[in-house]
């Protein structure tokens, strides 16, 4: 019987096994985790057929090996596995960055083994086999980055696995992958961490945390992610992450200056543009397909600060109110 | 019959009416919106009994008037209403900042009218009466900030309304309120906007947006909020927002420097602390109740970079692997 081995039975490893079994795979799923008891928990969740007692046994005769560990251990893992994989074995991983892992695989794996990197773009702030779900990958994008040394058949093996778990294969260059995810995954994660770090270290947090509501909950969610997993991402994507942090710090500083100096028309334009850009993204509209909404400073002033809101429809309010403002002014003057 | 008037039938106004009616209020709910057709939509959603055709008619004889408009129009609204409210009327609002609105009410409303500010800490990235829900306020914190001029009975009227819609009254000083929400509401919102602004204006967005997944979706969600509502918040809470933006920019810059210089033990500590702080907040544990998790740089190095992960449990792997690394090194040397 064909064997698929999953190394690392956390959220992703367990969910992958569950999704494969749920998809009716005929292969036997073998699972291994370095932490005692974790693979057994994954088995209880339906994430694997056989718990391997050690790594060597786990990969014996496997046609496909999925590395579902944090990135920092992958180099050593590849080194250990290099002499223990079956001829023609396909190795893939699920790490959040791709260039380094592929480089390690090219250096360490023998030529009769094929490496095809992968990155299921799914996750949860929860971790461990208990959080596993057969539906985790359903409909999600799954970038696939083959090593230049990999045989096309190996790439097909991984793409088939991706389709079997309900995800969408998306072929990418590993460097391109790492640049993009730095902006759309690692930057959001670090913003989330920075929000929590900034607020929770403040002396006012002791009272302030009581009024933190759904907005705080949403934006801080990613900060609950597994530190080790994210550390690996930060370590293997340093330059790209620094680039996006710099861009975002610049944006925040501009925003801060607009608010500080009371340039409310500029702030309004910023908010409208962001709302518009996100609406396009959510709707799947190509960026730049139509001109962005333009709100002139004059429109904002008219709509908001000159009383159009009240004045527009309440009959004779305009003159009425001018009179009133005038009379109030008089009252104030008289008080002086 | 007692009358409650809601001015502004957007998400909050409509949800408030729906929640009052769902809670079995005996009062008649009168609704007004400056935009044609909006109040009728709110009526169809069950958010009010009577659509008022103008503002004067809307507030006639009302015991309680709820201002559910964006903050920028509230001053003018208060000015207009000042001569049109019934003796003993209680006015409240639902704005995201409190100090300015209370100041305007104190300046503009006559002494026979009581102002008690309020802030339901609920929301959605959707807006308008269609998004209204009777459950929007269920269990949410609802800060109440009475004007110092308000009669205690007026405060009770607003607290009763808050309880009637299923929310939790929380009495606060308006300045304290504005300081805290700047950190836990306005900062998260501006981080969300900055994420969208930074990524969507980049030339790489055209390709990059395709790999944006659930992390991006979560952190960008608040950027879809109503720009006018948030503009009012930014305008009336400038100093507090600038303070929190400065703190967060500092934190982001420190994080950037750690990553840039490869200080991974520091990055790990940051991620662990953030995970821990959020877990406490989610669990409702008082901050500082127990010492934070300390992860020493040495632990991190041991656990991650010296191969403990693989080495810990795979029998004789340690010596095995050192040999292998050694032989690989030799192979590389020979290639040179």
Three-state secondary structure of A260-278: HCCCHHHHHHHHHHHHHHH
CA distance A196 to A200: 6
What is the per-residue pLDDT across A20-30, written as a single tens digit (0 to 9) for each? 999 999 999 99
Residues B148, B245: one domain? no
Find the mean pLDDT for residues B70-87: 95
Mean pLDDT of A43-60: 96
| Same structural domain, B79 and B129 | yes
Q: Does residue A330 lie in a domain region?
A: no
Which chain B residues are Cβ-neighbours of A199 within 8 angstroms? 183-184, 187, 244
pLDDT at A1: 78
Please check whether residue B271 lies inside any domain of the structure.
yes
- B205 shares a domain with B163: no
Whether residues A86 and A119 fall in one domain:
yes
Chain B residues close to A141, C-beta within 8 Å:
210-211, 213
Q: Is the residue at B187 inside a domain?
A: yes
What does the mean pLDDT of chain B come to?
Answer: 87
pLDDT at A290: 55
Q: Which of A71, A122, A184 to mutate to test the interface with B (most CBs of B within 10 A)?
A: A184
* A289 inside domain: no
What residues contact B4, with CB distance under 8 A and at least 6 apart?
A: B20, B25, B27, B28, B29, B30, B62, B63, B64, B65, B66, B161
Residue whose C-alpha is closest to residue B49's, from B17, B1, B78, B96? B17
For residue B103, give every residue at least 6 positions away whose Cβ sits within 8 Å of its Cβ, in sequence order, or none. none
Q: Please indicate whether, in this complex, the C-beta atoms of A267 and B234 are within 8 angstroms of each other.
A: yes
Q: Determine the residue of chain A that is closest to B308 in CA distance.
A: A73
Q: Using CB atoms, which residue from A222, A249, A328 is nearest to B249? A: A249
CATH code, B26: 3.40.50.720
Residue of A nearest to B81 (CA): A321
User: Which one of A182, A210, A237 terminates a domain?
Assistant: A237
Q: Do A231 and B268 touch (CB under 8 A)?
A: yes
A167 and A68 in a single domain? The answer is yes
Q: Say if B317 falls within a structural domain.
A: no
Same domain, B19 and B122: yes
Same domain, A64 and A149: yes
Interface ipTM > 0.95: no
A200-215 average pLDDT score: 94
Percent of chain A whose predicted confidence (pLDDT) is above 70: 85
Closest in B185, B204, B325 to A79, CB measured? B325
Work out the average pLDDT over B2-6. 97
pLDDT, tens digit, 9 for 90 and up, residues B299-327 = 444 444 333 444 443 332 333 333 333 33
Nearest CA in chain B to A314: B54
Q: In a 3-state reduction of DSSP, which class is residue B123?
A: coil
Average pLDDT value for residue range A306-315:
38
In a domain, A314, yes or no: no
CA gap A22, A42 in Å, rounded = 14
Taking only the tens place, the pLDDT of each residue in B8-57 is: 999 999 999 999 999 999 999 999 999 989 999 999 999 999 999 999 99
Phi, psi of A232 (to 5 degrees): -60, -40
Confidence at residue B78, expressed as pLDDT on a 0 to 100 scale: 97
Specify the pTM: 0.85
Mark yes or no for CB contact A215/B185 under 8 Å.
yes
Does residue B314 fall inside a structural domain?
Answer: no
Q: Is residue B205 very low, low, confident or very high in pLDDT (cuts 50, 70, 90)?
A: very high
- The answer to whether residue B322 sits within a structural domain is no
A185 shares a domain with A168: no
How many domains, chain A? 2
Same domain membership, residue A146 and residue A210: no
The boundaries of the domain holding residue A112 are 3-172
Report the gap between the CA of A152 and the closest CA in chain B (Å).
23
Residues A149 and A210 grouped into a single domain:
no
Structure confidence by residue, pLDDT tens digits, B97-130: 999 999 999 999 999 999 999 999 987 778 899 9
Question: CB–CB of A275 and B223 under 8 A?
Answer: yes
The mean predicted confidence, pLDDT, of chain A is 88
**Which of B36, B135, B144, B188 should one mutate to test binding to chain A, selecting the residue with the greatest count of A CBs within 10 A?**
B188
Give the pLDDT of residue A118.
Answer: 98
Domain end call among B262, B283, B304: B283
**Alpha-carbon distance B174 to nearest alpha carbon in chain A (angstroms):** 13
Say whether both A222 and A74 belong to one domain: no
Given B151, B173, B195, the domain boundary residue is B173
Q: Are residues A193 and A168 in the same domain?
A: no
* pLDDT band at residue B188 using 50, 70 and 90 as cut-offs: very high
Contact A198 B251 (CB under 8 A): yes
* DSSP symbols for B146-215: E-TTS-HHHHHHHHHHHHHTT-EEEE--HHHHHHHHIIIIIHHHHHHHHHHHHHHTSTTHHHHGGG--HH
């Amino acid at each position: 019987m064909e064997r698929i081995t999953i190394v690392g039975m956390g959220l992703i490893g367990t969910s992958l096994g569950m999704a494969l079994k749920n998809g009716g795979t005929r292969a036997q799923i073998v699972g291994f985790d370095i932490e005692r008891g974790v693979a057994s928990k994954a088995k209880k969740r339906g994430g694997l057929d056989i718990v391997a007692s050690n790594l060597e046994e786990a990969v014996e005769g496997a046609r496909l090996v999925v590395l579902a560990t944090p990135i920092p251990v992958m180099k050593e893992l590849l080194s250990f596995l290099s002499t223990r994989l079956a001829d023609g074995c396909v190795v893939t991983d699920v790490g959040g960055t791709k260039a380094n892992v592929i480089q390690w695989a090219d250096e360490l794996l023998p030529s009769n083994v094929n490496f095809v990197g992968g990155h299921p773009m799914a996750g949860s702030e929860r971790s461990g086999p208990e959080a596993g779900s057969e539906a985790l990958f359903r409909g999600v994008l799954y970038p696939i980055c083959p090593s230049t040394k990999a045989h096309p058949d190996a790439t097909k093996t991984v793409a088939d696995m991706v389709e079997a778990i309900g995800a969408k294969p998306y072929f990418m260059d590993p460097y391109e992958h790492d640049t993009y995810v730095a902006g759309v995954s690692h930057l959001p994660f670090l913003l989330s961490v920075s929000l929590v770090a900034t607020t929770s270290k403040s002396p006012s947090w002791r009272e302030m945390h009581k009024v933190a509501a759904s907005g705080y909950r949403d934006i801080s969610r990613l900060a609950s992610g597994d530190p080790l997993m994210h550390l690996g991402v930060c370590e293997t994507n340093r330059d790209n992450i620094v680039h996006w942090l710099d861009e975002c710090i610049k944006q925040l500083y501009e925003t801060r200056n607009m608010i500080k100096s009371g340039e409310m028309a500029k702030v309004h334009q910023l908010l409208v543009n962001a709302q518009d850009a996100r609406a396009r993204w959510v709707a799947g509209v190509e960026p730049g397909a139509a001109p962005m909404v333009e709100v002139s400073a004059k429109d904002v002033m008219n709509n908001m600060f000159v009383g159009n809101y009240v004045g527009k429809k309440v009959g004779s309010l305009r003159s009425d109110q001018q009179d009133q403002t005038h009379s109030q002014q008089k009252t104030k003057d008289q008080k002086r």
